[in-house]
Amino acid sequence: MSAIANPVVQVSAGERLRDWLAPLRRVFVLTGAGASTESGIPDYRDADGQWKRSPPVTYQAFTGDARVNARYWARSFIGWPRIAQAQPNAVHRALATWEPAGRLSALLTQNVDGLHQRAGSREVIDLHGRLDGVVCLGCGEHSARADLQERLTSMNPDWAGLDARTAPDGDADLDGHDFTTFRVAACVQCGGMLKPDVVFFGENVPRVRSQQAFAALQASDALLVIGSSLMVYSGFRFARMASEAGLPVAILNRGRTRADELAQLKIEADAGETLQVALA
């Protein structure tokens, strides 16, 4: 009588992550652009961690070149409505549902879309700021991006009917236009230069924000990265700090990340479906 081979038991991505999370009490979660792609907001990099498009505008170019500034605001004018109307997806909802259980020490996001908050998460640290806010570089006045959109519409009626593909920075791939004709709005308080309340490339993350995130990580016993290649140092440093502190690291991301060698668990699967199982 021949022996019958034991069937191979397939363990889903969600079950693998659930087993990894099981013994952990306080998990620090870091999310990146991949967490918002199902909401219609494109990510930055391909599976190898390389740029899919030209790198985002730098702080130095935005503030030092009027043509770059006008180009940014023209593209943002077209792209902003889609960011404002984007809805949370399964990733955001799963994390928001998990938060009341008390096992989420902090939710640090590299995204600037505010979708975690719209899904109901409260313990969110917006590492790179939020697109729904605007700050004056002259007097520091903060205002709503929605209000600025109304001003830009009245100042640039000929641009209002244009359409273009959404880009990751909350703007749009609007090419082939004379951006020098786009009228850029100034601060209503002092006439200073306005900037989205986000951290541009070439600009430092505010120290108080970094310190808040560092403290939360130190009070955690693991790090879970979701939808980030961690190619930008401002995000990667948290994986490195966790590893140096002896904290286990898990990564849920399609494609290579800068911290793959630091991770005890690497899962390449649909983040929403995986989290719905793992955090249930």
Using alpha carbons only, what angle is made at residue 32 by residues 26 and 33, rounded to the nearest 5 degrees? 150
Is 271 annotated to bind a ligand? Reply is yes
Residue 11 labeled ligand binder: no
The answer to whether 218 is a known ligand-binding residue is: no
190 in a labelled binding site: yes
Question: At residue 271, what are phi and psi to the nearest 5 degrees?
Answer: -65, -40
- 187 annotated to bind ligand: yes
Q: Is 253 known to sit in a ligand binding site?
A: yes
Our answer to whether residue 128 is catalytic in this structure is yes
Known binding residue 111? Answer is: yes
139 is in an annotated binding site: yes
- Can you say how many angstroms the Cα of residue 9 is from the centroid of all Cα atoms in its chain? 35
Phi/psi zone of residue 267: left (φ > 0), alpha (ψ -120 to 50 degrees), beta?
Answer: beta
Structural element, H or E, at residue 276: helix 271-278
To the question of whether residue 110 is assigned a binding role by annotation, the answer is yes
Classify residue 3 by its DSSP letter: P
- CA dist., res. 274 & res. 94, Å (int): 10
How do beta strands 124-126 and 129-136 pair? unpaired
Residue 145 labeled ligand binder: no
Selecting among 92, 128, 142, 177, the annotated active-site residue is 128
Residue 228 is labelled as binding a ligand: yes
Does the annotation place 113 within a ligand binding site? Answer: yes
Count of alpha carbons within 13 Å of 113, Cβ hemisphere only? 36
Both tokens assigned to 16: 């693998």
Give the phi and the psi of residue 237 in degrees, each rounded to 5. Answer: -60, -25
Ramachandran sector of residue 255 (left: φ over 0; alpha: ψ -120 to 50; beta: rest): left
Q: Which of 58, 51, 40, 61 is nearest to 201 (CA)?
A: 58
Catalytic residues: 128
Point out the annotated binding site.
110-113, 136, 139, 187, 190, 227-229, 253-255, 271
Point out the annotated binding site for NAD(+).
110-113, 227-229, 253-255, 271
Point out the annotated binding site for Zn(2+).
136, 139, 187, 190
